[in-house]
Chain A
Amino acid sequence: MTVIASTPGRTAPASRPPRTSRRAGTGRLAAALLSPTLLVLALVIGYPVVAALRLSFQVSTEGIDPRTGFVATTSHYGMGNYATVFTDDRLLRPWWNTTSFALASVSLEVLIGVSMALVMHRAFRGRALVRAAVLVPWAIPTAISGMLWKWIFNSQGVANELLGTQVLWSSEGFHAWLSVVIADTWKTAPFIGLLVLAGLQIIPGELYEAARVDGASAWRVFWRITLPLVRPALVVAVLFRLLDVLRMFDLPYVLVGPRKHSVETLSMIAFNEMTNLRFGSAAAYAAVLFVYIAVVALAFVKLFGADLLGRGTRSEP
C-alpha cells in the first residue's frame, strides 16, 4: 500500500527538480567511489604508458673515455629510435612471426576450442572429469608449459621418438615455428573452449527442439543456430587470444630460445634491446607493437562487432 502511494508522488511533475539533483548527487558519489580505482589505473597503467612513450623519443649516444674506460652517455629527444626501428632489417621478420603466430594458432585454437566446447556441452557420464581435464593445459603457467614442450621437442625427446624422425626442433626453420604454434594451441585452445561452452549453455533448448521438428540436419543446426548464437562469446574469446598472441614472448623464449629468427617476436626484440641497455630503442619497439596491436584489435572489433561493453547481443539481419 505504501508502495502504491509513494509511486505517483515520485513521478509527479512537482517532484522532478529534487529528482534530477539527486541523480547528479548519485553521479558525484559514483565518481567519488570510482576515483581510487581510476587513480590506481592512472598510476599503474597510464603513467607507465606515457613514460614509455616519452622514453621512446629519448635518443642516447654513448662514448668510452679512452683514458679511464668509463662510459659517457649523452641523450636528446628526437625521432632517432623510430628511424632505427623502421630502417633496421630486424623489424620485418619478427613482425611477420608475430602476425603468423596470431593467424595460425588462433585459427587452430578456434577449431579445436569449439569442438571441445561442443563435446563438453553434451550430457554424458564423466562430463565433469572431461571439463576439468581439458582445463589443465590452461592452468599451467606458460613458462612451465614452454619447458614441458622443450623436453618433448628435444633432439632426443618424445616427439622425435613418436614420429620416428630426427627433426632438430629448436634449430632455425619452419619446424621451430611449428613447435611454438603446437605448444600455444595446446595451452590455449581450452580457453576458447571454455568461453564458447559458456555461450552454448545460454542457448535455449527449445530452438534445437524446433529445428529437430522441422527436420534440420545436424550440420544445418550447427550452422544456423549454434554458431550465430554462440558468436558473441566466440568473438570476445578470439579477441582476447589475438591480443595475447600478438604480444607473445614467454613461449618462444623458453621453448626455442632468444634471438632465433624463426620464432622471434616483436616483444622479444624489445626485450633484447632492453637487456642491452638501449631503453629508448626498446621503448620504440614496444610502442610500435602497442600501435600494431591496437590497430588489429580495432579492425577486429569493427569487422566482427565484438560486444565488449556488454550492450547485449545485437541481432544480425
Chain B
Amino acid sequence: MARDLQINSEEGTVSSLRIVLGVGRTPAGHGGTRPRPRAAAVMAAMVCASVLAGCGDSGSSDSKDGPKKSNDRGPITLATGKDTTGTLQGQLDRWNKQHPAEKVTLVELPESADQQRQQFIQNAQTKSDAYSVLNLDPIWVAEFAANQWIDELPAKEFPLGKMIPAVVKTGNYFGRQYAIPFNTNAGLLFYRTDLLDKIGAQPPTTWAEMKQDCAKVRGLPEGKGIGCYAGQFDKYEGLTVNFSEAVASAGGSVVDAKGKATVDTEAAKKGLQFLVDGFKDGTIPQQAATYQEEDGRRAFQAGKLLFHRQWPYQWTLANAKDGSSKVAGKFGVAPLPGLTGPGRSSLGGLDLAISKFAKHKATALDFIKFFSNEENARTNLKVTSAAPPYTDLYDDPALRKQFPYLDTLKQSLASATPRPVVVHYGDATAAIQESAAAALSGSKPVDSALADMQKNLSAAIAEK
C-alpha cells in the first residue's frame, strides 16, 4: 500500500504537468472508464505533494548556508540516473556502515538523461529536499549553478590537482567549483588492425591520412565496399559532440573562453567541411546520417566500418567472443584524427553536486569526498569500465592490462575540450544540431549553415 501511494504521488505531480501541456492521455481519454479510487488517489497524492513542498520551505534554515559553513549532519540521498551496473548500492553500503547516523539512500532516476534533468529541475523548482547529492551530466552544471539550484563547493578540500584539468573544468562556472568529477569520458578512434596491417599503415593522425588509408583498404579484396568512417550524426546530442570535435580538431572552438560563440571562424568551417565532404565523397556512409552510438557499434561489429569514432564502452562489446562481433581481436584504438595533427575529443562523464535545498550539507560534502575518491574511481573502472578523472590511474600497470585502451584514452582526455558552457544549454545544443544537420544533409551550404548557427548560438548564450 505504501508502495502504491508512492507511485501514485509521482504520477500525481506529473499528471498535472501533462494536463497543462496536453501531453499524453488526458483523464477524459477513452470514454471515462477511469475508476474513481484511482482519481481519489491521484488527488490525495497531489495534496501530499503540495504539503511536502511546504515542508521543504519551512525546513530551509540550513539550506541557505553553503556546504562550506554547514555543520548539519544526518541522513542524505544520492540522486543519480538508473544504476545499470548494479554496483552503486555496494559502495553506499560501505559508507553507511562507517556512518550509521549519516546514511545515504540511493534515489534512482530514469535512464534517459533528458528525464533525469527534468526530475532534477522539478525537484529544484519545488525547493524539495528529497535529493541531496546530485549526479549531473557536465552540460547541466552551468544551468544549475546559474539558477542557484546547486551550491558552490570548497575546491581546496578536493584533490583536484590529481585530476585531468579539462575534466575538473566541467564542474566550474564563473570561476567557482560547483561540482566534482565522478567519472569522465572521451571519444576514441576505433580502427581495424587487420586491414591497416595489410596495407602497412599506422593509425591515421589526420583526416587526409584517414581518407588515404580508406582508399587503399577499399582496393583490397577483403576491404571492398567497406564504409570508411562514422561517428554519431543523427540529430541529437551526439551530433553536437561530433560537430564540436570536428571544429576543435581543426583548431577552432564552438564557444571561446569568454563565452562567445565562435562558429563563424575559418577553423569551424574547415571542421564542418570535413564532415560534409565525408558524406559527399562517400568517406562517411549515407546511413551514418541516422547513427546514434548503438547503430554505429552494430555496423562496426558487423565489419562494415574501417574507422569509427566511439566512446570506450565499445571496446569490451566489440571484443566479445560469443559471435556477436565479427571484429573481435581485430581492432585497436587511437586518439581522434584532426586537420593537421591529432584531433580533440569532447568530454562526457558525470559530476557530483549538492542541491541548494538539501538538508545535512556537511554530510553531503563528506559523502562526495568519499564517493569521488581515487579508491572508488579505481573500483568503478574495474567493475563498470567508467573512465576515472584521476591521472595516475591511467598509468597503473594492473589497470592497463585489464583495459589496454587506457593509454590512448589518457591522450584523448588530455587534449579534450568540454562541451560549450552555456546556461541555456538546451537551446545552444538545438542551435548547433539544427545547422549541422542541415549542412550534413546538403540542404544548406556550409557557410550559411555556420552563419545561422553563429546567430542562433549567440542568441542562446545571451538569451533575453
Contacts and interface: CB of A to CB of B under 8 A. Distances in A.
Contacts of B160: none
Contacts of B27: 44-45
Given A48-B19, A168-B290, A257 B236 contact: yes
B28 A45 contact: yes
A168 B295 contact: no
A49 B286 CA distance: 46
B43 A43 contact: yes
B234 A40 contact: no
Interface stretch (A11-19, A68-76, A102-110, A111-119): A68-76
A259 B28 CA distance: 28
A233 to B, nearest CB: 12
Interface in B142-200: 145-148, 173-174
B299 interface: yes
B281 interface: no
A223 interface: no
Nearest to B16: A48
A168 B16 contact: no
B441 interface: yes
Contacts of B424: 276-277
A274 B19 CA distance: 13
Given A44-B42, A70-B146, A275-B426, A282 B290 contact: no
Interface in B235-277: 235-236
Contacts of A26: none
Interface in B379-393: none
A102 to B, nearest CB: 14
A124 B463 CA distance: 66
Interface string B275-292: 000000000001101110
Contact of B145 (A44, A61, A69, A275): A69
B295 A274 contact: no
B26 A45 contact: yes
A250 B148 contact: no
Given A70-B146, A271-B21, A275-B426, A44 B295 contact: no
Contacts of B145: 69
Given A43-B46, A249-B24, A257-B235, A171 B290 contact: yes
Interface string A237-252: 0001000000101100
Interface string A278-307: 000011001001100100000000000000
A64 to B, nearest CB: 6
Contacts of B21: 52, 267, 270-271, 274, 282-283, 286
B77 interface: no
B121 interface: yes
B434 A259 contact: yes
A270 B23 contact: yes
B290 to A, nearest CB: 5
B23 A249 contact: yes
A259 B173 CA distance: 28
Contacts of B295: 154-156
Contacts of A154: 290, 295
Interface residues of A, number: 50
Interface string A42-55: 01110011011001
Contacts of A247: 22-23
Interface string B416-434: 0000000110110010011
A63 interface: yes
B118 interface: yes
A51 B20 contact: yes
A12 to B, nearest CB: 41
A131 interface: no
B16 A44 contact: yes
A249 B23 CA distance: 7
A44 B19 contact: yes
A172 interface: yes
A37 interface: yes
A68 B147 CA distance: 11
B334 interface: no
B174 A68 contact: yes
B427 A155 contact: no
A214 interface: no
Interface string B24-51: 1011101000001001101100100000
Interface string A124-159: 000000000000000000000000000000111000
B222 interface: no
Contact of A168 (B118, B236, B289, B423): B289
Contacts of B26: 45
A71 B423 contact: yes
Nearest to B302: A156
Nearest to B142: A69
A170 B43 CA distance: 40
Given A44-B39, A154-B295, A257 B19 contact: no
A257 B43 contact: no
A63 B147 CA distance: 11
A260 B235 contact: yes
Contacts of A240: 30
Contacts of B298: 156
B24 A168 contact: no
Given A70-B146, A171-B441, A249-B23, A259 B423 contact: no
A35 B276 CA distance: 64
B422 to A, nearest CB: 11
A94 to B, nearest CB: 13
A201 interface: no
A44 B15 contact: yes
A311 B148 CA distance: 57
Contacts of B118: 275
Max count, chain B CB within 10 A of own CB: residue among A43, A171, A257, A259:
A171
B235 A37 contact: no
Contact of A40 (B40, B121, B146, B464): B40
A209 interface: no
A55 B20 contact: yes
A270 B19 CA distance: 12
Nearest to B176: A69
Max count, chain B CB within 10 A of own CB: residue among A166, A168, A286:
A168
A171 B30 contact: no
Nearest to B25: A244
12 contacts: A44-B15, A45-B19, A48-B19, A55-B20, A70-B146, A154-B290, A247-B22, A249-B24, A271-B21, A274-B21, A275-B114, A275-B117
Given A64-B146, A156-B299, A249-B23, 9 more contacts: A40-B43, A43-B46, A45-B27, A62-B464, A69-B146, A70-B146, A172-B235, A258-B236, A283-B20
The 7 closest A-B pairs by CB, nearest first: A69-B174, A155-B287, A52-B20, A48-B19, A276-B426, A71-B146, A170-B290
Interface of A: 37, 40, 43-45, 48-49, 51-52, 55, 60-64, 68-71, 154-156, 166, 168-172, 240, 247, 249-250, 257-260, 267, 270-272, 274-277, 282-283, 286, 289-290, 293
